[in-house]
Amino acid sequence: MTKGTTRRFQPTFWPTVFSIPVFLVALGLGTWQLQRMEWKKEQIALRQERSGAEAVSFDELYAGNSGVPAEEEFRHVWIEGEFLHDEELILGARSLDRRLGVQIVTPFALRDGREILVNRGFAPSELKESAARPEGQVKGTVRIEGLLRVPGWKGYEMVKPANDPIKNFWFYVDIPEMARHTGLSNPVQDIYLDAGPAANPGGYPLGGQTRIELVNNHLEYVITWYAMALILAVIYFVFHYRPVEKLEDET
């Protein structure tokens, strides 16, 4: 009898205890990113479809309704009525082409007596006060087009800043609080309007600031996490595919 060597897959305890959870986590994160990628594609397609459609009358769609379903976000509508310029609200932390500024949110009185908040768009910091842009304070009955938006903070909750109604400085749209601050009597709840790109007298506010296209880099993360799972599996297999001795008959 002589001794020879061969290779067999022989798992060991601690490398297995470490590798299996890491492998499952990497696989799970890759799958989650894949789902996020598909969701993002659907969102982009929805935004493009709704924002690119012909504007419809807000009054006809939501006549008599104080609330508008959140599912209607990015619907292209037109409204008719008057701006309540004396009740302007300043939405902070905005920039355009690397120029710091704010966005101007103005209550708008619809013909049926309801009021809806309208984000009229960007104004540079030096023009945030209404007195600095008198041409843009259009008077009388006007018709404007825009996209319906859902209020609330759009970022991570852990870094959510606090609105400051006393200073009239807002980081996100909070319709009930803004309605109280401006004294609106019959505000449309759950939805507001991002004004479209139609030019305002004097140039500001500059409308058409709604983000339709979203960054969709989830494929990179899908590849990264799945690759990590695959690499770990290969390393685990190679590490445990060990040579072992075997006895061979001599002839």
* Domain residue extents for the chain: 2-41+216-248, 67-195
pLDDT at 170: 93
Tokens representing 159 are 């870094």
Q: How far apart are CA 178 and CA 236, in angstroms?
A: 58
Give me the residues paired with residue 108 across strands.
83, 116
62 against 124, higher pLDDT = 124
Assign 39 to helix, strand or coil: helix
pLDDT in tens, 94-112: 767 777 899 999 999 998 8
| pLDDT for 57 beyond 60 | yes
Length of the chain: 251
Query: Phi first, then psi: what are they for 90, rounded to 5°?
Result: -105, 120
Q: How far apart are CA 209 and CA 62, in angstroms?
A: 24
| pLDDT for 156 beyond 80 | no
pLDDT at 240: 85
pLDDT band at 77 (very low <50, low <70, confident <90, very high): very high
What is the average pLDDT across 138-145?
93
Torsion on CA atoms 117, 118, 119, 120, rounded to nearest 10: -150
What is the average pLDDT across 35-64?
86
Q: 144: buried, middle or exposed (CB in 10 Å: 19+, 13-18, 0-12)?
A: buried
Cβ neighbors of 65 (< 8 A, separation 6 or more) are 188
Tokens representing 96 are 């355009």
Q: Is the peptide bond before 205 cis (omega within 30 degrees of 0)?
A: yes
The residue among 236, 185, 212 whose CA lies nearest residue 50 is 212
What is the overall mean pLDDT for the chain? Answer: 87
What is the average pLDDT across 142-157?
88
142 against 68, higher pLDDT = 142
| pLDDT for 27 beyond 60 | yes
Q: How far apart are CA 100 and CA 87, in angstroms?
A: 23
Cβ neighbors of 74 (< 8 A, separation 6 or more) are 46, 47, 50, 51, 147, 148, 149, 210, 212
CA 250 → CA 1, 4, 157, distances in Å?
Answer: 5, 11, 74
pTM reported for the whole predicted model: 0.78
pLDDT band at 182 (very low <50, low <70, confident <90, very high): very high
